[in-house]
Structure 1
Amino acid sequence: METVTMSKTRIIGIIGAYGQTGKVVVDELFKTTDCILLVGGRNLEKAQELTAKYGDRVIPQYVDVFNPKILSEFCQNAGIVINCSGPAYSVLAQVALSALEHKCHYIDPATASEPYWTRLEPYKDEIKSQSLTFLISSGWVPGLSDLFPIYVDTYAEKYFDSIDSFEVYIADPSEWSRVGIQDIIHYTKKYGHEGLGIFKYGQWTPANVFNFSRVVTLPQPLKKQRAFVNFFPELKHFVKQKKYPEFGVYTAISPWAIMTLAYISIFMKTESDHAYHMMRAALKKDKQRNNPFGWEVVIVKGKKGDKKQQLIAKLTQDKHYWITGIVPAIATQMILSGQISAKGSFCLSEAVEPISFMKELAKAGVQYDITLDGVPC
């Protein structure tokens, strides 16, 4: 590796940098910061190809997240480490712990599963005492997908005297990578059942055959969608505090794709080629039959005085891995600028001020709108 002369605090290490998410992170941080970017992965040639268009400020380095010594050598040069490698269920907290060893801030777009937190839990106090910020679940899904409803809630509290229901609908039929599909399958196998329910007055209520799915009419161009209960673990703490009469999260996906995922989860291995191709075909079919872009819609029903009102927020994106990468890139910028000052380990939605973060996303090109009874807020 070339000698790095800039202060470590202005050096950002991106692991998995030539993957679809990593490339977005590299490009965005190159444009918006003056930091040196260490771009790492197991294929040094790909890392070198990526850096060729950027110049001396972007430096390729070999790194293997499953080799502690090599991983340590990568992290020791950085002030912030962004982990875009996968699959998440295999990598878990290995990169996070190496970042902690070398006193680096850490950002991970992947889901903070129970084993992830279990491995990180013994180091929680150390992360905080070192004045480090560790952000997990900091991509599109999860990440922005659970931050957006919290952002919408700031409007709901402003416009309503009381809230009757809070519904979140989300879909992303994009072309998922092999690693992404493996993570979907693994998560469904291990934890999918934990999301089968809604909250009523802050209490978890398991779904049943009558409310497991629903057909809902959403704003144009989404129209009618079949959606299935799928509560985000990252939202549970927030919802327990709010104690709204009803708070549900639903994934819009075809029954065919749901059945395919269920079959794979029960009968097939996560890493098998057949499982990957089956799930990929199901998602592709879903994309062809449905809207070919990702979206999230939040519907809040409540009252202002005696008048019933409905607030609808819609976020759409047609560049799947772009939005997955733009979220950790903006989080990095906000750590550098001091806008994210929380110290310790958090999900993204726990550590950021939602209005400020959404403003930065809007500047970057993320599109969303909020209406109250059809009138823009």
Structure 2
Amino acid sequence: MAKTILVLGGYGNFGKRISESLAKHADVCLLVAGRNLEKANDLCKKLRAENYAADLKPVALDIFSENFAQELKNLSPFLVIHTSGPFQGQDYRVPQACIDAGAHYIDLADDRRFVCDITKLDVQARSKNLLVVSGASSVPGLSSVVIDEITPQFSRMDEIDIAIAPGNRAERGEATVKAILSYTGHPIKIFENGQWINKYGWMSARRLDFGKVVGKRWLANVDVPDLELFPARYPSVKRVNFQAGLELSFLHWGMVGMAWLAKYKLVRNWSPVVKPIVAASNWFIGLGTDIGGMRVKIVGIDHQQKPLELVWQLTATHGVGPYIPTLSAIILAEQLISGENKDSGAKPCLGLYKLEDFKTHAERWGIYYQLFNKGEEQPLG
């Protein structure tokens, strides 16, 4: 029998990419869900016209409706993939409803509290033999997989530094921008020199080289689950840093200025004005490039007790960068569909698949990565 997969926000920036990937499976009944039935239907029509194999059905579903839990149960999904951000401020009504309906659950959450505290549902998920995963995205889904792959080369890891730099022409979702704005200029707890300190969202600007294809990009502080999860997962580490940036310098520094205004309480919160901010940024969508990158640097000691600094560097060209945050969810979904993944419980997406799994999917979109030994300045593979 075909397994019913429901994608919440299935026609959105990330949801449509997940829907597109899972629609290739003939043994899937794919429910493209969201508040706008017309948009869901348009995507289903588009995928049918392109001869995708799955049984495609549009569904009107509002996660904030009083009837959401019952409506979800009536659909009897095997798996629900939640892409309807921003996750900042959301409670666990969606994963709870999935557990009650007997459905596996995966989300693309980037909110620190939402992802880190998903374990509150662990006992319930295990009691029904269901897998509930939060943060199946670039972070901490992919970032943890990369670090787990590199870890065996170290006898001790001291520092983890992660950076993401999307191209200006890459499609941007309003929910993602709203999430960033919610903590712009607000304190973020960061593990540095073995202790927790406060830094501020979209401040501490620096410029980092992502290689000859991506080039140098400006970065600033971003609040992600990794900042809290990785000090516990990798106990020897004394510093965990995460930053992201905008390709166009004037937009990036505009955000830094907005962070300054929020830090000194001249503006309380920028997220309520997300629509005009996104609209203004779209005026410049034709500038810059559609090239993005991701960089994971680990500093520590090798097994000969010598200093070691490895850098994993990913490059995405031709506007395919927005596929990267979707691949963790797609990989886990396909493993559940095939029966390969029999895991259960509620957990953050930490090391739940292999880097080789990511490579298989990424190469289809022309997304490539290399590992560099900074001491030798040459790729290791």
Partner amino acid for 1:63? L
1:171 is matched with which residue: 162, 165, 172? Answer: 165
Does residue 98 (structure 1) correspond to residue 97 (structure 2)? The answer is: yes
Partner amino acid for 2:228? K
Seen in structure 2, the aligned counterparts of structure 1 residues 284 and 343 have a Cα distance that, compared at 3 Å, is farther
Match of 2:6 in 1: 13
Match of 1:111 in 2: 110
Q: Give the SS at the match of 2:14.
A: helix
Q: Give the SS at the match of 2:30.
A: strand
Alpha-carbon offset, residue 364 of structure 1: 4.1
Q: Counterparts of 2:216 and 2:111 in 1: how far apart (Å)?
A: 31
Q: Counterparts of 2:205 and 2:4 in 1: how far apart (Å)?
A: 47
Seen in structure 2, the aligned counterparts of structure 1 residues 176 and 129 have a Cα distance that, compared at 3 Å, is same
2:235 is matched with which residue: 237, 242, 258? Answer: 242
Name the stretch that deviates more: 30-39 or 247-256: 247-256
Does residue 23 (structure 1) correspond to residue 16 (structure 2)? The answer is: yes
Alpha-carbon offset, residue 63 of structure 1: 1.2
Work out the percentage of aligned pairs sharing the same amino acid.
Answer: 20
Match of 2:51 in 1: none
1:151 is matched with which residue: 142, 146, 151? Answer: 146
Match of 2:346 in 1: 345
1:375 is matched with which residue: 364, 374, 379? Answer: 379
Seen in structure 2, the aligned counterparts of structure 1 residues 72 and 246 have a Cα distance that, compared at 3 Å, is same
1:184 is matched with which residue: 160, 177, 180? Answer: 180
Seen in structure 2, the aligned counterparts of structure 1 residues 356 and 72 have a Cα distance that, compared at 3 Å, is farther
Q: Could you list the runs of 5+ residues in structure 1 that have no partner in the other structure?
A: 1-5
> CA contact under 8 A between 2:230 and 2:240: conserved in structure 1?
no
Does residue 68 (structure 1) correspond to residue 63 (structure 2)? The answer is: no
Q: Give the SS at the match of 1:36.
A: strand
2:292 is matched with which residue: 291, 294, 297? Answer: 294
Q: Give the SS at the match of 1:52.
A: helix
More helix by share: 1
> CA contact under 8 A between 1:18 and 1:41: conserved in structure 2?
yes
Q: Counterparts of 1:234 and 1:325 in 2: how far apart (Å)?
A: 17
Please tell me the root mean square deviation across aligned C-alpha atoms, in Å.
3.3
Seen in structure 2, the aligned counterparts of structure 1 residues 246 and 89 have a Cα distance that, compared at 3 Å, is closer
Q: Give the SS at the match of 2:137.
A: coil
Alpha-carbon offset, residue 150 of structure 1: 4.4
Alpha-carbon offset, residue 228 of structure 1: 2.9
Alpha-carbon offset, residue 29 of structure 1: 0.4
The TM-score normalised by the length of structure 2 is 0.79
**Equivalences for residues 128-147 of structure 1 within 5 A:** 128-140=126-138, 142-144=139-141, 147=142
Seen in structure 2, the aligned counterparts of structure 1 residues 166 and 16 have a Cα distance that, compared at 3 Å, is closer
The number of residues matched between the two structures is 356
Deviations 1:296-329 (A, max 9, x none): 1122344543654432211123324333333322
Q: Counterparts of 1:162 and 1:337 in 2: how far apart (Å)?
A: 37
Alpha-carbon offset, residue 283 of structure 1: 8.3
Alpha-carbon offset, residue 109 of structure 1: 0.8
Name the stretch that deviates more: 357-366 or 331-340: 357-366
Seen in structure 2, the aligned counterparts of structure 1 residues 53 and 229 have a Cα distance that, compared at 3 Å, is closer
Q: Could you list the runs of 5+ residues in structure 2 that have no partner in the other structure?
A: 49-53, 247-251
Alpha-carbon offset, residue 237 of structure 1: 2.9
Name the stretch that deviates more: 15-24 or 320-329: 320-329
> CA contact under 8 A between 1:198 and 1:249: conserved in structure 2?
no
Q: Give the SS at the match of 1:31.
A: coil
> CA contact under 8 A between 1:156 and 1:311: conserved in structure 2?
no
> CA contact under 8 A between 1:109 and 1:143: conserved in structure 2?
no
Match of 2:358 in 1: 358
Alpha-carbon offset, residue 98 of structure 1: 1.4
**Equivalences for residues 187-336 of structure 1 within 5 A:** 187-188=183-184, 192-195=186-189, 197-201=190-194, 203-207=195-199, 212-230=204-222, 232-240=224-232, 241-253=234-246, 254-263=252-261, 266=265, 267=267, 270=270, 272-273=272-273, 275-278=274-277, 281=280, 288=287, 292-304=290-302, 305=304, 308-317=307-316, 318-336=319-337
Deviations 1:44-86 (A, max 9, x none): 2222222224457111222121223245223442110111223
> CA contact under 8 A between 2:137 and 2:326: conserved in structure 1?
yes
Q: Give the SS at the match of 1:342.
A: coil
The TM-score normalised by the length of structure 1 is 0.80
Q: Counterparts of 2:171 and 2:344 in 1: how far apart (Å)?
A: 35
